[in-house]
Amino acid sequence: MNSHPVSGIHEFRARVVALILNGKPELSLRLLARHYEVREPTLRVGTVKGHRKVLACYVEKEKRIYLSNSGFVTDPFVVLHEFYHHLRASKVGKTRQVETRADLFATDFIRDFLSCNELIGGRIPSAGPSGPTCQIGGRPRRSPQP
């Protein structure tokens, strides 16, 4: 994993969430894959046979995240939860998927986004190339470039 200063990781997470909220989940997945040094998963709106009633699912054989409808493209919890399954399968090579840990992974990103968002005036930050500016445990800084 890439190392970031303590506040840098919070800003990175906030940037990832902002990208998803701004309709750029593919870019967020690219940044996450680069950060965690794994192959980037693909993203597709649709369902998988045998998993039609779930919001989303990760198919390890395809290295693909399926979202059951386009509304989840901008849902950071769903996208990050499924990325966790990709990360676990890529790093550990296990097919056993731990839902609680996936929930916590997504929640950590959203918590950091909310902390950052509160510090920059309660608006959804632009997810441009330099990301949001916020202060978490230090002086205000720009989000780190991947």
Residue 30: both structure tokens together: 């690219």
State mean pLDDT over 1-15: 72
Residue 134 binned pLDDT confidence (cut-offs 50, 70, 90) = very low
CA distance 42 to 54: 18
44 DSSP assignment: E
* Domains along the sequence of the chain with CATH: 6-121 (3.30.2010)
**Residue-wise pLDDT tens digits, 94-127:** 545 578 888 999 999 999 888 887 665 555 554 4
The label of the residue with tokens 């965690």 reads 36
Per-residue confidence (pLDDT) for residue 121, from 0 to 100: 57
Q: Please give the residue that has the higher pLDDT: either 135 or 124.
A: 124
Per-residue confidence (pLDDT) for residue 90, from 0 to 100: 85
**Taking a C-beta distance cutoff of 8 angstroms, is the pair 70, 44 a contact?**
no
Half-sphere exposure of 97 (CA within 13 A, CB side): 18
Give the sign of the dihedral formed by CA 19, CA 33, CA 62, CA 86.
negative
**Taking a C-beta distance cutoff of 8 angstroms, is the pair 49, 28 a contact?**
no
**Taking a C-beta distance cutoff of 8 angstroms, is the pair 142, 131 a contact?**
yes
CA dihedral 101, 146, 123, 45 (to 10 degrees): -60
**Residue-wise pLDDT tens digits, 55-87:** 899 999 999 999 999 999 999 999 999 999 999
**Residue-wise pLDDT tens digits, 12-32:** 999 999 999 999 999 999 999
Instruction: Check pLDDT > 70 for residue 45.
Output: yes
Amino acid symbol at 68: S
CA distances from 18 to 1, 53, 103, 131, 142 (A): 21, 27, 18, 8, 14
Half-sphere exposure of 48 (CA within 13 A, CB side): 16
CA distance 133 to 137: 13
